[in-house]
Amino acid sequence: MNEQSATTGYLAWQFSQVMGSRLEKELRVLDLTLAQHTALMHIARSPGISSADAARRTGVTAQSMGAAVNGLVDRGMLERRPHPTNRRVLCLHITDDGRHLTERAQAVVKNVNDAALSVLSPTEQATAHSLLYRLVAHLNPDALPPSA
């Protein structure tokens, strides 16, 4: 497949696969999976979110998100609290230990990101980020931070 025949979607998927694999490998040092890191990030941004809502926002299956959340609750990184009006829903909140782990994980993610993008100039990196951000904002805006 040459540069002209690869679709943008295919290239984005390939990039996503490689980045996901690299992130999984590096996050293992913190005893985190990529799904757990994603859960921590979204719950830190949206305290009280349900596991199902976190799964929808991130494009992770409900089963994968449930397993990630269960592991984080067992480790004391997250806690479940009753929903104020719906008895069937549990709200997720990050603990102080979870917040500390999230900060450490963000440093790992930054290192992986910096290494992967080192082939691009700073201007190219900013352009790639801007274009990907616009595409995600168009296709899955809930995946982005609420304040963005």
pLDDT exceeds cutoff 90 at 36: yes
pLDDT exceeds cutoff 90 at 147: no
Residue 2 CA to residue 71 CA, distance in Å, equals 42
| Phi and psi, residue 145, nearest 5° | -55, 140
Topology at the third CATH level for domain 23-142: Arc Repressor Mutant, subunit A (1.10.10)
Give CA separation, 63 vs 3, 66, 90, 119, in Å. 36, 5, 15, 36
Given pLDDT bands bounded at 50, 70 and 90, which one contains residue 148? very low
Contact between residue 56 and residue 142 where contact means Cβ atoms under 8 Å apart = yes
pLDDT 10s digits, 109-143: 999 999 999 999 999 999 999 999 999 899 888 88
Indicate the pTM of the whole model: 0.85
Cβ neighbours of residue 107 under 8 Å, at least 6 residues apart? none
What value does the mean pLDDT take over residues 90-114? 96
Cβ neighbours of residue 23 under 8 Å, at least 6 residues apart? 34, 37, 108, 109, 112
